[in-house]
Chains A and B, each alone.
Chain A
């Protein structure tokens, strides 16, 4: 089955802990993205990667880090420096032939 797999779907964390959200894709897309969604809000861009071993900050990168060691994988680490990490996190890939953005099912992070 082709698609984007995000894990875990739900994650709880204590304040001061780093957590890593996984995003794996088998669509063979070069570009991958992380968005954050808060209740009643649109999607805000955290980081994106256009190709392996390269990534750029989005609009709200502070307190987050990423890596892109493989085409298939773009993990997001939410660090303790992120002051308000409770949110719904969405990973996406982009098909450059059509321009369409494909999304995973999301990971909901709650800080206790």
Chain B
């Protein structure tokens, strides 16, 4: 079964707020994690990634935090905009378990103006 999951299936925020989307994983052999954004009817798009030798990585308006002690991953979006409304997936790469990423079920982020 899936080893990657998300704490909440939906998240609603106001425009301008900061959003935090969480993801728990269970495999300690996971060495690479990616966050994807999927808009309705489209393929997922890469947002940001992080390797297991890092705790934090920042991009433009996004930050990913990795806590290996509790096997937790989070995506923080600063100053959330209506265009950020989408489904967000975390995915993990399990070292030596094949080449495919394993995906969680996703969190739907809704941003209201």
Our verdict on whether A and B bind, yes or no, reads yes
Contact B41 A42 (CB under 8 A): no
Please classify how large the interface on chain B is, using the bins under 10, 10 to 19, 20 to 34, 35 or more: 20 to 34
A29 to B80, CA, bound (A): 34
Inter-chain CA distance A4–B45, complex, in Å, is 12
Q: How many A-B residue pairs have CB under 8 A?
A: 57
Most B-side CB within 10 Å, residue of A6, A100, A101: A101
By CB atoms of chain B within 10 A, which of A104, A106, A108 has the most? A106
Kindly name the residue among A43, A45, A99, A102 whose own CB sees the greatest number of chain B CB atoms within 10 A. A43
Q: Are B43 and A104 in contact (CB under 8 A)?
A: yes
Q: Which residue of B lies closest to A88 (CB)?
A: B41
A106/B42 in contact, CB under 8 A: yes
Across the interface, name the chain B residue whose C-beta is closest to A105.
B43
Give residues in A with beta carbon < 8 Å to B: 4, 6, 31, 33, 35, 40-45, 48, 50, 56, 58, 90, 92, 94, 98-106, 108
Residue numbers of B with Cβ under 8 A of A are 2, 4, 9, 32, 34, 36, 41-46, 49, 89, 91, 93, 98-106
